[in-house]
Amino acid sequence: MIADELGRADDVERVLIDEKVIEKRLDAMAEEIDREFPSGPILAIVLLKGAFVFAADLLRRIPRPLDIECLNVSSYHGGTESSGVVKFLDHSLPDVKGRHVLVLDDILDTGRTLKAVTDRLLLEGCAAVHTGVLLAKDRPRAEDVQADYVGFEIGDEFVVGYGLDYRGRYRNLPFVGVLKS
Ligand code: XMP
């Protein structure tokens, strides 16, 4: 599907990663996770809202028992710049005690989100936190954090599509793209 068919060609300046390339990369990531993850069921924690498309496509490629939970966290609050504050929007966290957890986020930017979530899950008593992101921005991190599984390294620019939004829109684009400024 192309941007024209979605009626949003006017907003998208260029496609950065198209659907086919994402699919191929997810095949490889799923294989890597399945190979490297300790045996037994994986507890996947999907960070909402941005990671829901990525997680749905990735987790369906992993051929072993999975428990899936979601965590609602927010750091952008609608714009194109991180607010610097990671908010946990849920009243309670999933039970992670003694579990090996795979946290999935859409994009690693400043690193604050993955750091805050990892710290919180370790505090809750999980055995280990493994992290996977579809995208990692090539920029200095505010926190000393990296993801164990990275789909694509990208430049330091604001992207939308495949779960990522600008003011709530564009999450349903099947590709990752850059908006016109
Ligand atoms: P941090 O800075 O905590 O960022 O590593 C992670 C969260 O920030 C959001 N984010 C973006 N959202 N386009 C988006 O639509 C972007 O280019 C972008 N960069 C960061 C995202 O919610 C992510 O989970």
CB atoms within 10 A of CB 59: 19
Q: Which of 1-15, 113-127, 161-175 has the lowest mean pLDDT?
A: 1-15
Catalytic residue, candidates 27, 105, 109, 119: 109
Which pLDDT does position 9 carry in this prediction? 53
128-142: b or e for each residue (b if 16 or more CB lie within 10 Å)?
A: ebbbbbbbbbeeebe
Residue 141 alpha carbon, nearest atom of ligand 1: 5
Which pLDDT does position 7 carry in this prediction? 44
pTM of the model: 0.92
E strand or H helix that includes residue 16: strand 12-17
Residue pLDDT, tens place only, 12-45: 899 999 999 999 999 999 999 999 998 888 999 9
For the Cβ of 73 lying below 6 angstroms from any atom of ligand 1, the answer is: no
Of residues 5 and 148, more confidently modeled: 148
Is 67 assigned a catalytic role?
no
Q: 45: which strand partners? A: 69, 103
Spell out the domains of the chain, with CATH numbers in brackets.
3-75+95-179 (3.40.50.2020)
**Mutate-to-test residue for ligand 1 from 52, 82, 87, 176, highest number of ligand atoms within 8 A of CB:** 82
